[in-house]
Chain A
Amino acid sequence: MDKKALMDKIFAKGKQYGLNDMEIYHGKDNSFRVKIFKGEIDNYSVSSSEGLSLRGDYNDQMGYSYTSMLDESSVDMLAKNAKENAQVLTNEDREVIFEGSKEYKLKETYSDKLDRVSEKEKIEFAKEMESKAYEYDKRIELVPYCSYGDGSDEVTIKNTKGLELSSRSNLAYCYVSVTAAQGNDRKSGTVYRCSDDFYTFNPGEIAKEACDNAIALLGGQGSGD
């Protein structure tokens, strides 16, 4: 069902249940992640996700409901639950629906450049990050976790006071965890980076930092020793 039509139906149903001011928060996201283990793609995941939550004022209390089933079958459930939840609230602070500001400053939170990075480049990056870690020092025994991921999301807020806004953003991240061993001593080091520019990630530099973190801990004594 068309998103706008669905929102209008939910507001209409809410009115029938006696809800006064109402607001819908709609979120949609996509994600990609690849995990490398010993040079192979250990795990590859993609997702598309969508959900909607309703909040509505009933007798000066704000009830909430939500669903990830965006079709006609959810309309009644959302309105009914929002009303029932408002009925059990005894909150003395009144929560109100905001009609919105007069103006909004535009902020750039979406990188089209990130969208253009190919899946092949992402996988090669993660593989290189792992191989650089193994090559860095013979004490690096294992790279148990090496991954690259990115995601984008889009949020729309619409209420019965006339506010209707949306925004979108995207981000990429990488994570590497290494285990260094010396005799019976094993220590781990990790590095996590995130950016909206894939090309700022340097696989060799990130791997080096994780390895240095682990190696620096070898031979350390626990407190109380």
Chain B
Amino acid sequence: MQDKRFIGNLLDEALSTGGDFAEIYVEDTESTGLTMLGGKVYKASAGRDYGVGIRIFNGYNAIYAYTCGNDKEEIAKTVKKAAQAVKKDSLTRRNELKSETVDNIHIIQIPPNQVEKSRKVQLMSAAHAAAKSVDPLISQVSINYSDSSKHILVANSTGKFVEDHRTYTRMYISAVASKGDEMQTGGEGPGALSGLEFYDTIDIEEYARQAARVAVTMVNAKYCPGGRMPVILANGFGGVIFHEACGHGLEATSVAKGNSVFAGKLGQKVANEKVTAIDDGTIPNAWGSTNIDDEGTPTQRRVLIENGILKGYMVDILNGKRMNAESTGSGRRQNFRYAPTSRMSNTYIAPGNDTFEDIIANTEYGLYAAKMGGGSVNPSTGEFNFSVGEGYLIKNGKIAEPVRGATLIGKGNEVIQRIDMVGDDLALGQGVCGSASGNVPTNVGQPVIRVSELIVGGRNGDSNG
């Protein structure tokens, strides 16, 4: 991507004004995006994004600069500009750059850029037809296909010089069911750190039917009653609540500055003893995995909470300095336009011993959230609200009628104390997490879990609304 000598010169320039650490990040990404609406492909785009990010540390503070393209003069100019933000007399010398070999555990068999776009359209058409076939109430199906191939180089003043390749593919299917004036949606978005072989490992038509089935079920459902009640969160994307309301508070980005309810609580009980939570960036070909993070550190499997005890955080280099902790390979960024910071990868609650059937049977009355929708979280306090995409009331230990319009409201650190049953059916769901360093692919996940009490926002005191 760029030769070692040029990168070395850039690092020298970056350190020339007194910075104590410098890093050069080079990225070259090719992407394809296709959009289908009503069975017609109405948008197709493809392109290349190339740029260089420069980061300099001055104590605990960071300077970041970036430029697009491969013009060496422009890159050198940008490095010089960044260095001018530091003014110190003592100079740090960099180590000699040494190439590191990445142990690639994410094998790509069919690079997307070697596959005709017509083949990708075929997959989309099959998904569209499958969703439409579910019910005449399905009024619209939209499908977004995307793939990208990202080549990165990370070099820094400690002597690191390492490259990595990442290939992503994903399809998001959204189905709308209409009945009179009512409309409800269902969505599924399987994706992986994989080439087109990913579609040989999943049944994309089944995902499409699932999206449509949720939309139809919800358009026929009555409104959910509100109040405090036990809530059972389904496996897979149900983990989005843990991700948003607890996961972000376990990132060093928040912890290092004391801006987290989990700061300073290592070794303390922060969750029910049934809760063990893990962040694992090493799962082969998983959506949130990478061989190395965007600071060049190998990714890890990291236990965050073990049987309710806080065991660790997700740490990047800069916040690690602030916390006197080593990087856990969690430094991530959307692209060269963002400085990296600690982020989640594949974050999940580990499986327990309860079965789905036992959890339902042991709940006299409550809400079963089979699919989660969108929501928002205050990262400082962990307060959240999430909509339930597909919900059912539980009555007398059995799943009863479907209900729509439910909202879950709570505080992350309180909710994990109230998880009193943990299932054995761990599954992961793909999402795109937005935070300080941009949007990055992340898996959320969990087995089915029960929260003994949660505020459910709904309508009226019963389900006949």
Contacts of B68 in A (CB 8 A): 48-51, 68-70
Which B residues between 135 and 188 are near A, CB-CB below 8 angstroms?
A: none
Taking the closest CB of chain B, its distance from the CB of A139, in whole angstroms, is 14
The answer to whether A89 and B41 have CB atoms under 8 Å apart is yes
Stretch binding the partner chain, chosen from B56-64, B267-275, B352-360, B421-429: B56-64
Report if B70 contacts A (CB, 8 A): yes
Contacts of A37 in B (CB 8 A): 257
Chain A residue nearest in CB terms to B82: A46
Which B residues between 58 and 90 are near A, CB-CB below 8 angstroms?
A: 60-71, 74, 78, 81-82, 85
The answer to whether A47 and B67 have CB atoms under 8 Å apart is yes
Contacts of A45 in B (CB 8 A): 63-65, 339
The answer to whether B64 and A223 have CB atoms under 8 Å apart is no
Chain A residue nearest in CB terms to B59: A40
The answer to whether B85 and A44 have CB atoms under 8 Å apart is yes
Report if A168 contacts B (CB, 8 A): no
The answer to whether B69 and A92 have CB atoms under 8 Å apart is no
Contacts of B46 in A (CB 8 A): 64-66, 81, 84-85
Report if A20 contacts B (CB, 8 A): no
Which A residues between 12 and 69 are near B, CB-CB below 8 angstroms?
A: 37, 40-51, 53, 63-69
Contacts of A74 in B (CB 8 A): 48
The answer to whether B65 and A224 have CB atoms under 8 Å apart is no
Report if A222 contacts B (CB, 8 A): yes
Main secondary structure of the interface of A (DSSP, over half): strand
Q: Given A46-B81, A186-B380, A222-B409, does the pair A91, B65 have CB atoms closer than 8 Å?
A: no
Report if B94 contacts A (CB, 8 A): no
The answer to whether A47 and B337 have CB atoms under 8 Å apart is yes
Report if A86 contacts B (CB, 8 A): yes
Chain B residue nearest in CB terms to A43: B62
The answer to whether B69 and A88 have CB atoms under 8 Å apart is no
Chain B residue nearest in CB terms to A70: B69
The answer to whether A50 and B69 have CB atoms under 8 Å apart is yes
**CA distance in complex: A144, B68 (Å):** 30
Contacts of B339 in A (CB 8 A): 43, 45
Chain A residue nearest in CB terms to B31: A66
Contacts of B455 in A (CB 8 A): 222-224
Contacts of A213 in B (CB 8 A): none
Taking the closest CB of chain A, its distance from the CB of B66, in whole angstroms, is 5
Chain A residue nearest in CB terms to B30: A77
Contacts of B381 in A (CB 8 A): 179, 186-188
**CA distance in complex: A70, B71 (Å):** 9
The answer to whether A53 and B47 have CB atoms under 8 Å apart is yes
The answer to whether A68 and B45 have CB atoms under 8 Å apart is no
The answer to whether B69 and A71 have CB atoms under 8 Å apart is yes
Cβ 8 A contact of A71, one of B51, B70, B78 = B70
The answer to whether B41 and A144 have CB atoms under 8 Å apart is no
Q: Given A44-B62, A71-B71, A223-B457, does the pair A88, B47 have CB atoms closer than 8 Å?
A: no
Report if A90 contacts B (CB, 8 A): yes
**CA distance in complex: A222, B381 (Å):** 13
**B222-263 interface code vs A (CB 8 A; 1 in, 0 out):** 000011100000000000000000000000000001110100
Report if A142 contacts B (CB, 8 A): yes
Contacts of A90 in B (CB 8 A): 40-42
Taking the closest CB of chain B, its distance from the CB of A11, in whole angstroms, is 17
Chain B residue nearest in CB terms to A47: B66
**A80-109 interface code vs B (CB 8 A; 1 in, 0 out):** 010011111111110000000000000000
Q: Given A88-B41, A90-B40, A142-B259, does the pair A68, B69 have CB atoms closer than 8 Å?
A: yes
**CA distance in complex: A130, B73 (Å):** 37
Q: Given A65-B45, A74-B48, A92-B40, does the pair A223, B409 have CB atoms closer than 8 Å?
A: yes
The answer to whether B117 and A84 have CB atoms under 8 Å apart is yes
Report if B34 contacts A (CB, 8 A): yes
Cβ 8 A contact of B117, one of A42, A53, A85 = A85
Chain A residue nearest in CB terms to B50: A69
The answer to whether A68 and B51 have CB atoms under 8 Å apart is yes
Contacts of A51 in B (CB 8 A): 49, 68
The answer to whether A69 and B69 have CB atoms under 8 Å apart is yes
Report if B123 contacts A (CB, 8 A): no
The answer to whether A81 and B62 have CB atoms under 8 Å apart is no
**A179-192 interface code vs B (CB 8 A; 1 in, 0 out):** 10000001110000
Taking the closest CB of chain B, its distance from the CB of A50, in whole angstroms, is 5
Report if B133 contacts A (CB, 8 A): no
Contacts of A66 in B (CB 8 A): 45-48
The answer to whether A47 and B257 have CB atoms under 8 Å apart is no
Most buried by B among A48, A65, A78: A48
**CA distance in complex: A41, B87 (Å):** 13
Contacts of B102 in A (CB 8 A): none
Contacts of A78 in B (CB 8 A): 47
Q: Can you name 9 A-B residue pairings with CB atoms under 8 Å?
A: A41-B61, A42-B60, A43-B63, A46-B65, A47-B65, A49-B68, A68-B50, A69-B68, A90-B41
Residues of A within 8 A of B (CB): 37, 40-51, 53, 63-71, 74, 77-78, 81, 84-93, 142, 144, 177, 179, 186-188, 222-224
Q: Which 8 A-B pairs have the closest CB atoms?
A: A66-B47, A85-B44, A68-B68, A64-B45, A91-B42, A224-B455, A45-B64, A144-B259
10 other A-B residue contacts (CB within 8 Å) besides A69-B50, A89-B42 = A43-B64, A46-B65, A46-B78, A46-B85, A68-B48, A89-B43, A92-B40, A144-B380, A179-B380, A224-B409
